[in-house]
Amino acid sequence: MPEPEIYRFSPISRLLRSAPSRIDLARKSVELREALQAAFDASGADVLSLDVFDTLLLRDNQSEARRFWELSKLIRKELIDSKAHPRAAALSVEDFLLARVEGMRVSYRTRKPVKTCCEGVLDDVTKIARRALGLSASVDKHFIATEIVYEASVLAINDAVLDLARAVKAKGGRVVLVSDMYLRGEHIGAILEKVDSGAAKIVDHIFSSGDLVVSKRAGRIFREIERRLELGPSAFFHIGDSLLGDVSRPREAGWSALHFPVSDAEAQAREADVAAFIDEMHALGLNVSDWAKV
């Protein structure tokens, strides 16, 4: 009787999960580049659709909560240094942090829904946070500019995905970025420009839920993109790190999709970081465990 045979799926995903660093892997691995190219070619798609954060732009091992704190520190410093508002110096980094978190919470929950989707947007987050801190509208531009500078400083280009994007463009295809993010498309473009101006040049369109309100997560952004580009679902090949928003939902919409997961080592480091962050905030009398995420 013949022996049973075992098949494993998704070699790219397994390669990524086992990598100590996806940034290094994307920089060095020929295997990853070839596999991405082969997957795109096999799909028969014309448009390469890329998730942005943790896909085209790779994050370091800091948790989201820690990044928010670091950003809050920078915004406070910027307001003090630029003398944008005299009250800034009297406020703590944690004041800025909690104001921002409340801004995110209110914006995401209360923004007018589109096709039953609710998404936050940076402009609203900034206004809500600024008001909670007793600051004037003149500081809004400092908040947003600092956020763009900070994000660019903690992101690295994904060389393997960028190579694929270049190859697609070279063959006459299109490259679009699709992000579930409170940042507007123009903010995402500004960040990409700062990280890698060459990469920014090959992008044809940026679609952000911050602008459109409909999202990948809810699965409603895909039809909107098809409508805007006047293409059918089979024209798209999407890559992203979220199993739900970047794989399941696009596949349900008829797109080809490839999972580009965060590596296990990176996920572990972020878990450890968020746990440490919660402890640090607890020591200051703040319970942030309801919102602090990896």
- Contact positions toward other proteins, by CB under 8 A? 1-10, 13-14, 17, 87, 90-92, 94-95, 97-99, 102-103, 106-107, 109-112, 124, 127-128, 131-134, 243, 247-248, 251-252, 259, 261, 263-265, 267-268, 271, 274-275, 278-279, 282, 284-290, 292, 294
CB of 159 to other proteins, least distance (A): 23
- Nearer Cβ to other proteins (134/198): 134
CB of 212 to other proteins, least distance (A): 17
- Nearer Cβ to other proteins (54/196): 54
CB of 202 to other proteins, least distance (A): 29
> Nearest-CA neighbor of 124 among 47, 213, 203?
213
Write the DSSP symbol of residue 113: P
- Nearer Cβ to other proteins (106/156): 106
> Nearest-CA neighbor of 48 among 257, 259, 261, 224?
257
Q: Which amino acid is at 264?
A: D
CB of 200 to other proteins, least distance (A): 30
- Nearer Cβ to other proteins (97/192): 97
Contact 188, 181 (CB under 8 A): yes
State how far the Cα of 151 lies from the Cα of 149, in Å rounded to an integer.
6
State how far the Cα of 58 lies from the Cα of 198, in Å rounded to an integer.
16
CB of 112 to other proteins, least distance (A): 6
Question: What CA–CA distances, in Å, run from 148 to 185, 190, 247?
Answer: 12, 7, 27
